[in-house]
Amino acid sequence: MNNLAVLPLRANSQRIRHKNIKLLDGKPLLYYQINCALCTPEIDKLVVITDSKEYGRIAKEMGAEVMHRPNDISGPESKSEDSLIYVIEKLQERGAVFENTILLQATSPLNKPEYIQKGLKLLYAEKSNSLATYTDFSGFFFDDADILSRPMTQNKIQKRLETGCFWITKTSELLTKKNRICPPVSYLKLPEELKHEIDTETDLIIVEALLKKSLKMEENRYFKKYNQNYKNQIDDYYLPKKDPDGVMKNFLEESESRLELCQDEIDFINSHVNKQSETLKICDIGCGNGFISSRFDSKYDKYGLEVSKIAAEAAKKFIPNLVTTPLNSDSFSEEFFDVVFSYHVIEHVEDPISFVEHISRIMKTHGKLIIGTPNFDCAMARRFGDKFRLLHDKTHISLFSDFSLKDLLEDSGFIVDKIAYPFFETKYFNKENLERIFDINKVSPAFYGNFMTIYATKK
């Protein structure tokens, strides 16, 4: 077999007690390197060697093979190479021989299978005996020759800072040299954030922050996909159709009704421009027939984006600068808008994460985002399940809760200033709708929390 991965763990870490099982985003630290190894097809065997029964139990539950780490190689002065050689020799006694040995460290949880795969390819391509990973470092050390001249960062010769993500060593060389670094050595450059290792409590905070967004994306925690077989027809939303109560609706003709529902948002937008002495640029993304934009203060330089030809045709008379292609990296210039408004849009978008990233790109620093969408984890959604009224629309394909959308915005460079649930000030706050919450055999009523508006500021 080609590749053995070994993860050495000691129970008595000196700086952080039980460091290897500290929870990062709800998972013990050792989980991340174990999961990385198990998700790397090129790794034929993963062995966790530890002096802790608890660590061993957790690792075994995750699918790793576990070996007991003897006391004489478990002290604070013990080298990782001691554990590597111990595991290799034990496996050889069973007849298992590996060409390469990969050393993993639990304190580097940002490692990914793709990095290990690139490392193995580079090792073979350069016919090296070992491989180390690094990130570029352009800071100053006091014993640097250029500490007094202090060249600009971009003019400095960058140094290679070793990461703790992994090392790969030819097993035969490791047994001979008893060192993970055996010349000739290949060096694999990794992204800058991979320099972070966990040695202190501060490191735990930094690394957890770096982990969270990628984990939420991998585990689909930002939103839930719905109607996955639905082939999104752009104009479907604006065609006449029955609402959940069986009443025919035509959104293009419901301007005044929709205006009533977002009056608070309009008031906020207009109060914002009135505090400024200069003309501000505003973009209404998914502007529909443009009627809401028509109520934005005339001090705004108005832009709109609408991919429905039916709606865009109606919006032309209200919005001077109208784009009819989907929001993407070419839609508008970077740092262009002071305010972005997006109302009843993100739930129709197939890739809402990219959608938010594009919004962030086109917004100025400290710009205001007002984004409204159904809350698919509200009280009525929980009580009525599949009969929740906002599941009726088949064009709703990306479902958010208030917490998940808040997370996505905050992880995409926004500060969430306020979450509002417009209801009590609307015509839907009435006795009939209140009484309907008791009959879960029918479609849920309009109710507080069904819809949310998030007000956010770009950092």
Closest by alpha carbon to 418, among 400, 401, 402? 402
Please tell me the predicted confidence (pLDDT) of residue 40.
Answer: 98
Each residue's pLDDT tens digit in the chain (459 positions)? 799 999 999 987 777 889 999 999 999 999 999 999 999 999 999 999 999 999 999 999 999 999 999 999 998 889 999 999 999 999 999 999 999 999 999 999 999 999 999 999 999 999 999 999 999 988 878 877 777 777 887 777 788 999 999 999 999 999 999 999 999 999 999 999 999 999 999 999 999 999 988 888 888 899 999 987 776 666 677 777 788 888 887 777 767 777 888 999 999 999 999 888 889 999 999 999 999 999 999 999 999 999 999 899 999 999 999 999 999 999 999 999 999 999 999 999 999 999 999 999 999 999 999 999 999 999 999 999 999 999 988 889 999 999 999 999 999 999 999 999 999 989 999 999 999 999 999 999 999 999 999 999 999
**3-class DSSP string for the chain:** CCEEEEEEECCCCCCCCCHHHCEECCEEHHHHHHHHHHCCCCCCEEEEEECCHHHHHHHHHCCCEEEECCHHHCCCCCCHHHHHHHHHHHHHHCCCCCCEEEEECCCCCCCCHHHHHHHHHHHHHCCCCEEEEEEEECCCCCCCCCCCCCCCHHHCCCEEEEEEEEEEEEHHHHHHHCCCCCCCEEEEECCHHHHCCCCCHHHHHHHHHHHHHHHHHHCCCCCEECCCCCCCCHHHHHCCEECCCCCEECHHHCHHHHHHHCHHHHHHHHHHHHCCCCCEEEEEECCCCCCCHHHCCCCEEEEEECCCHHHHHHHCCCCCEEECCCCCCCCCCCCCEEEEEEECCHHHCCCHHHHHHHHHHHEEEEEEEEEEEECCCCHHHHHHHHHCHHHCCCCCCEECCHHHHHHHHHHCCEEEEEEECCCCCCCCCCHHHHHHCCCCCCCCCCCCCCEEEEEEEEC
Please tell me the predicted confidence (pLDDT) of residue 151.
Answer: 80
- Could you give the CA distance from residue 154 to residue 209 in angstroms, rounded to a whole number? 27
Closest by alpha carbon to 292, among 267, 274, 272? 267
Q: Are 104 and 111 in contact (CB under 8 A)?
A: yes
Residue type, 450: N
Please tell me the predicted confidence (pLDDT) of residue 233.
Answer: 64
pTM: 0.83
The rounded radius of gyration (Å) of the Cα atoms in the chain is: 28
Q: Are 22 and 16 in contact (CB under 8 A)?
A: yes
Strand-pair partners of 249: 241
Please tell me the predicted confidence (pLDDT) of residue 247.
Answer: 82
